[in-house]
Structure 1
Amino acid sequence: MKQGLSLRVSQHLALTPQLQQSIRLLQLSTLELSAEVEQMLDDNPFLEVNMDEAPREEFGLAQADAQVNTDDRESEFSSSTAATATETATVETPAESESPLTGQDDSQSWDGDGTSEIAPDDSEWGGDAPARQNNLGEDGEVDATELARSQESLTSFLHRQALALRLGEEDSAALRFLIESLNDDGYLEDSLLALAQGLAGAEDGEDVDELVHRFTVALGLLQSLEPVGVGARTLEECLSIQLRAMFDEDAGEEEEQVRRAALRMCGLSMDLLARRDVKRLSHLCNQPDTVIKAAMGLIARLEPKPGRRFVDVERNIVVPDVIVVKIGRGAQARFRVQLNADVMPRLRVHDIYANALKQHKGGGKDSSNNAALQQRLQEARWFIKNIQQRFDTILRVSNAIVERQKNFFSHGELAMRPLVLREIADELGLHESTISRVTTAKYMATPHGTFELKYFFGSSLGTETGGNASSTAVRALIKQFVSSEDPKKPLSDSQLSDMLKEQGIECARRTVAKYREALRIAPTNLRKSL
């Protein structure tokens, strides 16, 4: 085998640290961005929260709508020489995915040492980090998270009721332990024996038996508290507790017969009740079909999850990144897109530390430390700039979505038009992957509700006229058909498909079934009224 040397020229792609951070920040959700900002504030001493309501620099969107040429894209991340700071500083368009990737080494170099030659004025980075012109007024609104925190939890509600029982010390402790063992739905998932063994230990049999006795007494007390059905171990027990609480001495014979039949049905398999097998239930309960149907209606009005209304609402809150406000009425109405100020971090470079570093020209042994600090300073500046670019991009994409879906904002989801990511990407001069990152886990508050940005994108279905209908509009139409159907004769998937064809929309039965399941609409046999 002969050995030799040869030269080979090749090209490879590498992401600069700035571009990596920009892409990562763009795809983060609101909560993830908040955690990222907190982490950066802890790690970088040159970064601080701007508590002052400083005026935002006028830059970003005015230049962002222009088409980006190749030279600008190459210069955005290959050169870190900043323009002279002016009152209205111009920043390159945040087209992260569109910028060609440099062939430089991908080591963590921030292309600058943080000296005055790189950034003559740190006030350039001292404004609010988010994009400009969020158009938010000064009117204070009630924070949804504060409302959520003010809601009483299930455990505190039960503890407050337990204080009125005037129990002994041991029974009170047992009841408190059971209350703390409930899940969010108000169910006691663990058995009393398992709870007792967890406290006393599996080997101590006498103590376990004593604890089981205490827990049994406490469980009866717990199930007597509000909301009715709390403390149940199974769904059958939960429904039975609620049915027993309905006992009324003044109730008529027919009402009492229905209640007893419902209690008997709860003691049977829940599968029969779920399938609405009236004949089988009638045979097992020895009751006529009319009583069984009335009992099923009674059970349907019960609460299967007693703790539902106490679940912490904060976990279900969606904080919008963008707010759409309707301005004007009638034909003159238009929609204004604005960023949500509550989700926008206000960051700036720490002036004292930055000025001290500029004045200190370390030499000799201090040169390495000084270079490291200058790199951290430049990292802080790039972090603020990338956050600015993130919100600018979100606002640009949101404006494009609102412009394309004007009919939705005016008339609702029935007027939604087909839209794909490529259309927005071509319009803004960004890559399709960038639009995908922007629309993932970002939410828009509209006059019709709060939706994820991806909600406004949908595939198209053909129409008889040769046009296209949005899948979102078709789902809304199916929902409308089902809501207006006769409960005694619900519409089948085939009938829904035929009704869509009458509207000029070609939609197969299987597609209708898929959309119906996505809308969580039960099949025909389960929607039928008894």
Structure 2
Amino acid sequence: MKPSLVLKMGQQLTMTPQLQQAIRLLQLSTLDLQQEIQEALESNPMLERQEEGEDFDNADPLADGDELPNPGSQEIALQESSIPTVENLDDGGEWNERIPNELPVDTAWEDVYQTSASSLPSNDDEEWDFTSRTAPGESLQTHLLWQLNLAPMSNTDRLIAETLIDCINDQGYLEESLEEVLAAFDPELDIELDEIETVLRRLQHFEPAGVAARDLRECLLLQLRQLPNSTPWLVEAQRLVGDHLDLLGSRDYALLMRRLKLKEDELRQVVELIQSLNPRPGSQIEASEPEYIVPDVIVRKHNDRWLVELNQESVPRLRVNPQYAGFVRRADTSTDNTFMRNQLQEARWFIKSLQSRNETLMKVATQIVEHQRGFLEYGDEAMKPLVLHDIAEAVGMHESTISRVTTQKFMHTPRGIYELKYFFSSHVSTAEGGECSSTAIRAIIKKLVAAENAKKPLSDSKIAGLLEAQGIQVARRTVAKYRESMGIAPSSERKRLM
């Protein structure tokens, strides 16, 4: 074949840097977005934040044009559609020459505009405590080593104790056998198995109670032994845990009463004493830092109408700094002037991207509240079936956009804080030809289990029959799937004494 030049025409989907930035901001969570805004404020001198109680000077042309409205002040009733908008920059002012609204496609920010590295966090705040905000939580091993340092012990025993502590998992159990621990030591140390077992018994007296146990039986017995001798039913509880723990696990209360020679009421008190113990003692020592949820949307009822508003504290109020913007000179091609014009354009696009995110979030949240009025009024049992396609059609957007805006976004309602994804669920047909949400079915199953007879808990088949009596056609395996998703044990494990 001879080489030749061929001209072809075709269509290809491309995204401008402005669109890429808008999509990236849309899918960020509240905490990630706050970090992104902080980095933008540190790297771009054209952006500034409005502090609480501060008023901007609206006499400047930029004050009205590039200010990002306070998200929390925009309330939307379900019957209204007042979406906040951003006005364009005032055409007046000697610095404001025409800047293109979009970059050429398939280009990056760095190819056209200059960027500057973000600076380090400011240390001007005297109340900012680095240690209290960055120190990790105490781990179980750290807690045990702290107690070990207070215990008088020989160097050899201390070495054994440190090795045993390293073998304790986060739940407080010893993962390795004593033989495996012994094999890990140097033979020249001449350590015997009895020494390891003696040190282990000393560790088992440390806090939390039940730590360093090798199995559940030993863990419960260690906690029972630390209770006062005057504790009611202590002897019977030790006997039950030591000899008949398997019967308690299988809920064979009739055989337990015969073995322990106890009446039903007496056995119930013994079981309650055992249930007061902690099968995972290591969980009492929290090593991870708590994670806080910042809601993006707040829903409240006012005058019998549900109102939707953006959280005032989630996103700060931004605008272009009019003083720096006034330094930009028209027809000036110097390096400093070019840098300021580039920063000005980036600031304008960043503000518009934030505003677009707020508008999309408000539209989606409003439609969700409109669809799920029943949930807000009556709870989970009134949840309606809802999929991404329904919201996408209502707001005129693609399903992928709805998926981005509902991921890691939270709504504060009078019933609690929920992720926006929580309001989406599949449906099950009813006898009348309607549809019932899977979330509502889970709520009904949970209600049935809570009201069941403790001696004769409902099986999955029985629950399916009760749902069918209410007109909800659900198979037994579907009931089992919903029950397991809620962490509810099967009927054989829910059986208990009255």
What range describes the TM-score normalised by the shorter chain of this pair? Answer: 0.7 to 0.9
Shift of 1:412: 0.9
Match of 1:451, SS? strand
How many matched pairs?
Answer: 451
User: 1:342 Cα deviation (Å)?
Assistant: 3.0
What TM-score does the superposition give when structure 2 sets the normalisation length? 0.72
- Residue number in structure 2 paired with 1:447: 414
Aligned match for 2:220, one of 235, 239, 246 = 239
Measured after TM superposition, the shift of residue 260 of structure 1 is 1.6
Aligned partners of 1:371, 1:162: CA distance in 2, in Å?
63
The aligned residue for residue 275 of structure 2 is 300
Paired residue secondary structure (1:336): strand
Matches within 5 A, 1:274-313: 274-276=249-251, 298-311=273-286
Aligned to 2:6: 6
1:343 maps to what in 2?
314
Distance 1:215 1:492 in 2: 46
CA contact (8 A) 1:151 1:310 kept: no
> Any idea what SS the aligned residue of 2:436 has?
strand
Equivalent of 1:390 in 357, 370, 378: 357
C-alpha contact 2:17 2:105 (8 A) present in aligned 1:
no
Q: How far apart are 1:317 and its partner, in Å?
A: 3.3
Taking a change above 3 Å as real, the CA distance of residues 333 and 311 of structure 1, as seen in their structure-2 partners, is: farther
Q: Is the 8 A contact 1:262 1:298 kept in 2?
A: no
1:248 aligns with one of 220, 229, 235: 229
Say yes or no: does 1:489 pair with 2:456. yes
| RMSD (Å) for aligned C-alpha atoms | 4.8
CA distance in 1, matches of 2:346, 2:26: 17
**Contact persistence 1:414–1:474 (CA under 8 A):** yes
* Superposition deviation, residue 277 in structure 1: 6.3
The 3 A distance-change label for structure 1 pair 236 and 317 is farther
Cα distance between partner residues in 1 of 2:374 and 2:134: 37
Structure 2: runs of 5+ lacking an equivalent? 56-66, 93-101, 115-131
Match of 2:346 among 379, 384, 391: 379
Residues 528 and 348 (structure 1), Cα distance of their counterparts in 2 relative to 1, 3 Å cut: same
Secondary structure of the structure 2 residue equivalent to 1:342:
coil
Aligned residue identity for 2:462: Q
The corresponding residue for 2:51 is: 51
- Alpha-carbon distance between aligned partners in 1 of 2:453 and 2:473, rounded to the nearest angstrom: 24
Q: Name the SS for the 1:315 alignment partner.
A: coil
1:14-93 to 2 correspondence within 5 Å?
A: 14-41=14-41, 43-51=43-51, 53-54=53-54, 65=81, 82-84=88-90
Cα shift at 1:303: 1.0
Structure 2 counterpart of 1:261, one-letter code: L
Q: 1:263 to 1:290 in 2, by over 3 A?
A: farther
1:260 to 239, 258, 265: 239
8 Å contact from structure 1 (residues 175, 215) kept in 2: no
Aligned-pair distance for 1:181?
Answer: 8.4
Query: Is contact 1:413–1:473 with CA below 8 Å preserved after alignment?
Result: yes
Aligned partner of 1:422 in structure 2 is 389
8 A contact 1:14–1:104 mirrored in 2: no
Question: Which of 275, 281, 300 is matched with 1:325 structurally?
Answer: 300
* CA contact 1:110–1:379 (8 Å) conserved in 2: no
Identify if the C-alpha distance between structure 1 residues 308 and 62 changes in structure 2 by more than 3 Å, giving closer, same or farther. Answer: closer
| Cross-structure match for 1:144 | none
Q: Deviations over 1:75-125 (max 9, x none)?
A: x9xxxx945379xxxxxxxxxxxxxxx9953111599979xxxxxxxxxxx
Name the CA distance, whole Å, in 1 between partners of 2:42 and 2:429.
54
Distance 1:434 1:392 in 2: 13
Cα distance change of structure 1 residues 214 and 408 upon mapping to structure 2, 3 Å threshold: same
Shift of the 62–192 alpha-carbon distance from structure 1 to 2, 3 Å rule, reads same
1:228 to 200, 209, 212: 209
Q: CA 1:518 to 1:358, structure 2 compared with 1: closer, same or farther past 3 Å?
A: farther
The alpha-carbon deviation at position 483 of structure 1 amounts to 0.5
Label 1:62 to 1:164 Cα distance change in 2 as closer, same or farther (>3 A).
closer
The yes-or-no answer on 1:399 pairing with 2:366 is yes
CA positional deviation for 1:41: 4.3
Q: 1:245 to 1:501 in 2, by over 3 A?
A: same
3-state SS in 1 of match to 2:299: strand
Does the C-alpha gap of structure 1 residues 464 and 308 become closer, same or farther in structure 2, counting only changes over 3 Å? Answer: same
2:418 aligned counterpart, secondary structure: strand
Larger helix proportion, structure 1 or 2? 1
Deviations, residues 125-180 of structure 1 (Å, cap 9, x unaligned): xxxxxxxxxxxxxxxxxxxxxx9999996769958994996757979999899889
Tell me, in whole angstroms, the C-alpha distance in 2 between the residues paired with 1:514 and 1:84.
59
Please say if residues 148 and 313 of structure 1, whose CA atoms lie closer than 8 Å, have aligned partners that are also in contact: no
Question: SS in structure 2 opposite 1:380?
Answer: helix
**C-alpha separation in 2, matches of 1:456 and 1:247:** 50
Moved more, 503-512 or 36-45: 36-45
Aligned-pair identity (%): 41
Query: 2-side partners of 1:377 and 1:221: how far apart?
Result: 68
Alignment CA distance shift 1:456-1:372 (3 Å): same
- Structure 1 segments unaligned to the other structure (5+ residues): 68-75, 87-101, 115-146
- Of 298-307 and 503-512, more deviation after overlay is shown by 298-307
Q: Aligned equivalents of 1:250 and 1:104: distance in 2?
A: 79
> 1:248, 1:528 → 2: CA distance?
30
The 2-side partners of 1:194 and 1:340 are apart by 56
CA distance in 1, matches of 2:175, 2:323: 57
**Cα separation, partners in 2 of 1:336 and 1:223, compared to 1, 3 Å:** farther
> What's the offset of the Cα at 1:407?
1.5
Q: State the Cα distance separating 1:423 from its structure 2 match.
A: 2.0
